[in-house]
Amino acid sequence: MAMDTVTDVLVVGAGAMGAQIAMACALAGYRVSVTDISAESLARALTSLRELTERRVSKGRLSAADRDAAFGRLTFTADLQTAAPSADFVIEAAVEDLAVKRELFARLDALCPAHAILASNSSSFVPSRLAAATQRPDRVCNLHFFNPALVMKCVEVVRGPRTSDETTQAAVTLAERLGKEPVVMAREISGFIANRIINAIRDEAVFLLEGGYATVTDIDRACRAALGHPMGPFELQDMTGLDIGYASKQGRYQDSGDPADAPPRSLAERVRAGHLGRKTGQGWYRYDADGNQAGEA
């Protein structure tokens, strides 16, 4: 479909990523509905966005008028059945669980108008695995934003084997209108571009840690001081959430069947213990009540 005809965007999933993707779309002038099965998540998303945009206004990065206009274009609802029929472009940002996503894409396929594009923010699951749950594989792709979605410029546009040129171009155009820098993958592969490169660094960092070659702190310090990275691999995992990294590794392992792609022991142990990074107060590092690093975990 032509992006000139897109006026309504539906974001499914009101977590940190979904909320910021929705705000990016609203700031770009689109009418946006945010849906989630949890009323608590919807309320938390609204509160988070109000706090985030208020900080931007106070720092002069956003005008109060533009903020108010964006919120005027945002709707939060737990009723997917009501929100979906008006959507021109859907961005799914639900939990990284393939069964959940496939069920959701099947529902969206049934509820959304025939012209609507169904895009996933997932980096764990390629478009073909989601398109197979729909009757519109030509209008399914991945539109992968990076955290935090309001700040990070890159958006990966991933086409599946049956994604049409028109759908790909519409996804690219949407990303551009959000002020992002889209990169297109001509063929799908789990992890896409950036995360495959990041994961290679993370895998080597975990290898060095588990082998007793260096500590978490010193590995992160080397990546900052020697390689110029703004954050070390363990700091970055704590920021994005160890559960997200675990899901990404698990998704690649499910695709390849190669044990080398499975989540590493030290990561799996932390996820099982509920130590998911900054959001839980402990991951590779411990964090105080203000979110400041308080030493290795």
195 catalytic? Reply is: yes
120 catalytic? Reply is: no
**Helical spans, DSSP H, in the chain:** 16-27, 39-58, 64-72, 80-83, 98-111, 127-131, 165-177, 194-210, 216-225, 233-240, 242-256, 265-272
Q: Which of 92, 96, 156, 188 is catalytic?
A: 156
Q: Which of 121, 123, 142, 248 is catalytic?
A: 123
Q: Which of 142, 195, 199, 248 is catalytic?
A: 195
Tell how far CA 43 is from the center of its chain.
Answer: 19
**Helical spans, DSSP H, in 28-120:** 39-58, 64-72, 80-83, 98-111
Q: Which of 120, 142, 144, 235 is catalytic?
A: 144
| Dist CA 91 CA 53 (whole Å) | 21
| Other Cβ atoms within 10 Å of 114 Cβ, number | 9
115 catalytic? Reply is: no
The DSSP output letter for 85 is G
142 catalytic? Reply is: no
| Dist CA 141 CA 121 (whole Å) | 9
Which residues are the active-site residues? 123, 144, 156, 195
